[in-house]
Structure 1
């Protein structure tokens, strides 16, 4: 493997490893901020005002203070109108093992509110949409690249 391939592999690995920094999530609702709807209108201005450091905002007196925060995207129909809520939350007991997928079922307390969809995730700003993020695409591309470089070498070892 030449030096350029090693450099690329090291950079890809460093990019994939998450630092100890706190989880950041989008925090907004489409009924108050139209740019929060689907598809989300993401600009640096919106990123500055509609994201939050989840651990810094955690309340030490609340349930689940020692739990890792998650990002949540909840789509509800309220009085016939679709409302998207993006938030940073502590997972409930039924959501602790979910890292990226549907939320646990939600019971609504109001007859005029219906849950359309709910998704939780645990990577920075992952609650912006349901599509694959740039970092996940980079990670996938890195794996494919590294595998393509090592597969010929691995095949030569087989008997």
Structure 2
């Protein structure tokens, strides 16, 4: 009987672990197109190592704040496009949590800036998308619920 009750608890713990692990750290692409042209769009990560944001240094002007998202900035200054990808210390992922939307600003002297943040997965500050960890979480939750419904 002990095995029957511990199995759903184990699967629930696995589900929670997958969700928490995903939220505690994120890996992002860190590059600048003015020093590496492959950082521009379309993004080519063959020369850019992915960076674990929990290893990024604490910023002097933001004591105690750690990066929890990825950021991509697209900037046009005097007709020239520049791209910056990095870990993000502040902001929200998209508008109302929708990472497809970015903040856009224009200014004088022919300046345009698009600022995008995301935290849906490692390396989300590029175009590719992967559902691996979310898929494992959903499967373990479904198995756990089925087990509880069948044996209770």
Task: Please state which band the TM-score falls in when normalised by the shorter chain.
Answer: 0.5 to 0.7
Out of 36, 39, 48, the position equivalent to 1:33 is 36
Report if aligned partners of 1:24, 1:52 keep a CA contact under 8 Å in 2: yes
| Inter-partner Cα distance in structure 1 for 2:35 and 2:24 | 29
- Residue 82 in 1 paired to residue 81 in 2? yes
For residues 3-152 of structure 1, the aligned pairs below 5 Å read 14=17, 16-18=19-21, 23-43=26-46, 45-47=47-49, 51=51, 53=53, 56-60=56-60, 62=61, 64-69=62-67, 70-91=69-90, 95=91, 98=92, 100-102=93-95, 105=103, 107=105, 111-115=109-113, 117-122=114-119, 125-133=122-130, 137-150=131-144, 152=146
| Inter-partner Cα distance in structure 2 for 1:30 and 1:14 | 37
Report if aligned partners of 2:58, 2:64 keep a CA contact under 8 Å in 1: no
| Inter-partner Cα distance in structure 2 for 1:73 and 1:84 | 7
| Inter-partner Cα distance in structure 2 for 1:155 and 1:12 | 17
What is the count of residue pairs matched by the alignment? 140
| Inter-partner Cα distance in structure 2 for 1:152 and 1:124 | 28
Instruction: Tell me the TM-score normalized by structure 1.
Output: 0.58
Instruction: Tell me the TM-score normalized by structure 2.
Output: 0.60
| Inter-partner Cα distance in structure 2 for 1:104 and 1:83 | 16
Aligned-residue CA RMSD (Å)? 4.1
Q: Which stretch has the larger CA shift, 64-73 or 17-26?
A: 17-26
Q: Deviations over 1:91-150 (max 9, x none)?
A: 2xxx3xx2x2258846556522212x32113477434314423xxx11222134234434
Report if aligned partners of 2:58, 2:65 keep a CA contact under 8 Å in 1: no
